[in-house]
Structure 1
Amino acid sequence: MKRSPFPFTEQSVLVHCITNEITNELLANALLFVGAKPIMAEDPREFADLFEQTDSILLNLGRISPAKEQALKIASHMATQPIVLDIVGVAASSLRLALSKELAVNATVVKGNISEMRSFCGLATKSRGVDGSPFDQQAAEMDELITALKKLPSTTTYLATGPTDVIVQGETVLLLENGVAELDSFTGTGDIVGALIASVLGAGYPSLEATRLAVSYFNLCGEAAKKSLVQPMGLADFRQETCNQLSLLHQTCWQKQMKGKNYE
């Protein structure tokens, strides 16, 4: 079994996050909980200095604005570190979809929920707003999405999150099966996954492995949180305990609990 990336203790990974006001604090704390270090800065005048220090970059399309769009574009072109692109809301907005296409050229990992990734691939989706649609998660639609993702540049790793998480890089397709439904019930879970992927990339892991480990770790945090709480479980308690598990799960043999398989 490969060593766990969590927690980052020898030398903390510094992750530069250009994200949104809704989840800024949540992401910063999530990174701290796993031993990484966040910096939340989106003024391009600082990028030259900051990019000399950071190990990876997270670009998140949530809460788009003209200023943020400009910052995302500049960061994408300036950064030499691994980049995780979280294509929040591309199924709802043609502006975000066009921006995601431009930013994806320089991305190491492109992630979104299943509906967002269908939109990114030019496939029809029944999504509303930023949430994934159950109709897009049926077997035929999933096969269609995987086929489309395999046609995209193999230099990038693609992650589509849902009840089954799909990771695609070239002809390699992984299906991850950890997690609980309640992880869809509080905001920012997808954003946390993007930040965790960026942290593992910053530690030097290959993109496919970094994505697999980060997604599985967070999903197992959700499983552990649900198991530890008295039922019926309040969702606010579940949110808090999931965040607690970010700093606790690494003390267990969590990699032995990872569930997944190759797509056939």
Structure 2
Amino acid sequence: MLEQQLGALLTRLREKSPLVHNITNEVVTNFTANGLLALGASPVMAYAPEEVADMAKIAGALVLNMGTLTKETIEAMLIAGKSANEHGVPIVFDPVGAGATPFRTEMARRIVEELDLAIIRGNAAEVANIMGEAWEIKGVDAGKSGGDIEALTRKAADKLNAVVAITGKVDRVAGPNALYAIHNGDEMLTRITGTGCLLTSILGAYAAVERDWALAAAAGLAMYGVAAELARQTVSAPGSYQIALLDMLYSVDEDQVASMARIERK
């Protein structure tokens, strides 16, 4: 049963404690590292172009996040990404704010074109803008969109040659042989900076232990959504929720994921 598979992947992740190399948003580096540690993965934040190739090749996964973007960051991402590709290390890419400025959009498209990506995780506007479709973007957050997100997810996976996870009220994952819809999560996640960035890094941890990357992405999204729901049961304000989320990433277990996951495979 699919829900049991999702739960079992959490146990496998904790047993393997994969090394996840992050080149991520500087605003949320601490939160991301603590979230990965709480879950049971082993994070490393290495940004220097002089070392990223060496770090990427020994990692279980490489996560590239454009949250705080500079030319130097892109250089490091491309060096690390090419090393990861050479050594069979999956890359998870978060095109934060693609579509907000020409520079961000251009850099996101460059990464997609130059690297072989396992998973792309973003909101609908970011993913659409990478493909040249004009969906509204507000700063680095999604604006209003009236398009068919399920169709967009399928189209993006085909066009970008990667598993695509589009997150929102319903999370959708498209891969070569499957489309998943995940209905877990909590609105409080939108009140804390960095919950999306942490999610992307968690998908990296799952990709490090499961080579069916669509299943890995679906499992990571479901687990994260379950943890978010459990955290909301204990607190009601953003500051305490951030801590509660870290606590739930540490304590959520295989049985809770299997029993609480609300997922469809289409």
TM normalised by structure 2 equals: 0.89
Matches of 1:124 and 1:262, distance apart in 2: 28
Match of 2:10 in 1: 5
1:143 CA displacement: 4.7
* CA separation of 1:85 and 1:143: change in aligned 2, threshold 3 A: closer
Aligned residues: 256
* CA separation of 1:38 and 1:146: change in aligned 2, threshold 3 A: closer
Match of 2:203 in 1: 197
* CA separation of 1:173 and 1:11: change in aligned 2, threshold 3 A: closer
Per-residue CA deviations over 1:1-27 (Å, capped at 9, x if unaligned) read: 222324744332101000121011111
1:207 CA displacement: 0.5
Q: Which has the higher helix share?
A: 2
Matches of 2:216 and 2:177, distance apart in 1: 17
Q: Is the 8 A contact 1:153 1:170 kept in 2?
A: no
Q: Is the 8 A contact 1:226 1:238 kept in 2?
A: yes
Aligned with residue 145 of structure 1, among 152, 167, 190: 152
Larger relative contact order (CA 8 Å, sep ≥ 6): 2
Match of 2:41 in 1: 36
Per-residue CA deviations over 1:66-85 (Å, capped at 9, x if unaligned) read: 21111111112121300000
Q: Is the 8 A contact 1:7 1:36 kept in 2?
A: no
Per-residue CA deviations over 1:108-148 (Å, capped at 9, x if unaligned) read: 10111122112122222122111112x31x4x432552453
- The residue type paired with residue 128 of structure 2 is R
Q: Is the 8 A contact 2:181 2:263 kept in 1?
A: yes
* CA separation of 1:192 and 1:145: change in aligned 2, threshold 3 A: same
What is the CA RMSD across the aligned residues, in angstroms? 1.9
Match of 2:249 in 1: 246
- The secondary structure found in structure 1 opposite 2:22 is strand
Aligned with residue 98 of structure 2, among 70, 90, 93: 90
Match of 2:125 in 1: 115
Q: Which runs of 5+ in 1 are unaligned?
A: none
* CA separation of 1:30 and 1:199: change in aligned 2, threshold 3 A: same
Residue 208, structure 1, aligned to residue 214, structure 2: yes
- The residue type paired with residue 108 of structure 2 is S
Matches of 1:47 and 1:235, distance apart in 2: 34
Matches of 1:21 and 1:194, distance apart in 2: 14
Identity fraction in percent: 23
Q: Which runs of 5+ in 2 are unaligned?
A: none
- The residue type paired with residue 34 of structure 2 is N
1:35 CA displacement: 1.1
* CA separation of 1:213 and 1:9: change in aligned 2, threshold 3 A: closer
Match of 2:68 in 1: 63
